[in-house]
Chains A and B, each alone.
Chain A
């Protein structure tokens, strides 16, 4: 019987000891328990075998809501050649044919003005790169790719020979330009940037050029359809002035700055 009593006493003692450690762990944020039995292991020894808390590989920063006042426009690529209609219906009159590619081999894009949902799908109201300038039409949503958003807008002032790039309504860049001669005027109206071309070997257009949806109303038989570009020049001394066939010319330093800041799809207003 005595032999059995010894282990039982040890078990009871061990229980007290474990209890003391537990109490000390629980009170680790404050003072140690003054009533803990003497001989209990200090907290540092008790937790030394436990793993350290993990630091997450990343933490997610503060979420930022969209700015409700952001100035934006959207554009979409043409997925297929499609007839643009006068109204959002398949039986409406055709106002233009939208091709899938531009003359430069880029994807044809259109500026999106709005959309409506009907029983036969969604129709998108778009600005078209056709004559007469300013023409709009409706195409099925399925004929266009994903929407892209831009926060920039380009203003061309033909009277003051200036171009101003705005981002979210604030001026970002201003430069002097050359515009069309009186016989070949740069058309006024609302347009958009269709593509960006660089790396070609023609100093006449400078190092970078942007294609717009604007077209010369006079030079309709110009190769490629008489589209108006925004580009550099090999005759910077002529800027500012009425010097071109309708295109908008910038000094090469200025077109390079513009190229860094202005994405394709940017709306363009020429006045």
Chain B
């Protein structure tokens, strides 16, 4: 109940900076950062820098063969942005899917997550199809206990949806292909609806301001890193000779 009172307060209308702090706050039980270096042999920040850089995929290997085959003249610049969007969609799709599967949310929030999760998974499919061979595989995620905590879940969901809309706003005027812009705005409006919907569910004003500010891709990379949701991939296979009972 205390939580409901808090979010209904007029004073609680998060800005981009507030949301950045919110995402940083929900670092599971606060221990992931400490264990990362030991677990993976490198610092988590170093790992995340590497992950985000790989996700953004700015490099000479980028091309546009698949997009061109689909009749879209896509530049390296556009592909880099689409790859970034894809990682963000993976992140959100995984988040909502896990929350739904764990089933720890209230029915109202779970119903929202069920619909939004389906949307985000559809976004993943659409962007992957456009990127074709230039796609990026999904990183491994660790949402900690955020997906099984109503409070942490909704705070993170508000952050994700607001920030995704802010990112698409930033990208739109920077995309080279008008066809990609046309596609991106179809995502943008859906993300803003998600944001308004979850805000309404938890008692926040669905439309907080008269104007929405964009958030840069670099800023988004920082925010994604601040969540510590991108994790090292566990090693599940080996080439070592087994020593089982035979």
Which residue numbers of A lie inside 8 Å of B, CB to CB? Answer: 54-66, 72, 74, 77, 79-80, 100, 103-107, 109, 115, 117, 121-122, 140-143, 145-147, 149, 180, 184, 195-202, 204-205, 209, 211, 216, 219, 222-224, 226-229, 231, 244-247, 264
**Interface class of chain A by DSSP:** loop
B237 & A196 in contact (Cβ 8 Å cutoff): yes
A-B contact count (CB 8 A): 195
Partner among A62, A147, A264 whose Cβ is within 8 Å of the Cβ of B236: A264
B28 & A142 in contact (Cβ 8 Å cutoff): yes
Partner among B71, B140, B182 whose Cβ is within 8 Å of the Cβ of A146: B140
A61 & B39 in contact (Cβ 8 Å cutoff): no
B240 & A121 in contact (Cβ 8 Å cutoff): no
Partner among A57, A117, A216 whose Cβ is within 8 Å of the Cβ of B70: A57
8 A Cβ contacts from B87-146 to A: 97-98, 100-102, 114-115, 117-119, 121-123, 125-127, 129-130, 140-145
B148 & A122 in contact (Cβ 8 Å cutoff): yes
Separation in Å of the A76 CB from the closest CB of chain B? 9
Contacts of B190 in A (CB 8 A): 60
B141 & A60 in contact (Cβ 8 Å cutoff): no
- Select from chain B the residue with minimum beta-carbon distance to A63: B118
Known: A57-B177, A60-B186, A66-B97. A145 touches B244 (CB 8 A): no
A224-B119 Cα distance, complex, nearest whole Å: 47
- Does B22 sit at the interface, judged by CB under 8 A? no
A200-B241 Cα distance, complex, nearest whole Å: 5
Known: A61-B122, A117-B149, A145-B231. A195 touches B236 (CB 8 A): yes
The 19 sampled A-B contact pairs (Cβ below 8 Å) are A57-B183, A58-B129, A58-B183, A60-B122, A60-B190, A79-B36, A107-B235, A115-B145, A122-B145, A141-B28, A143-B35, A145-B142, A146-B143, A201-B241, A204-B246, A205-B241, A205-B242, A211-B242, A222-B243
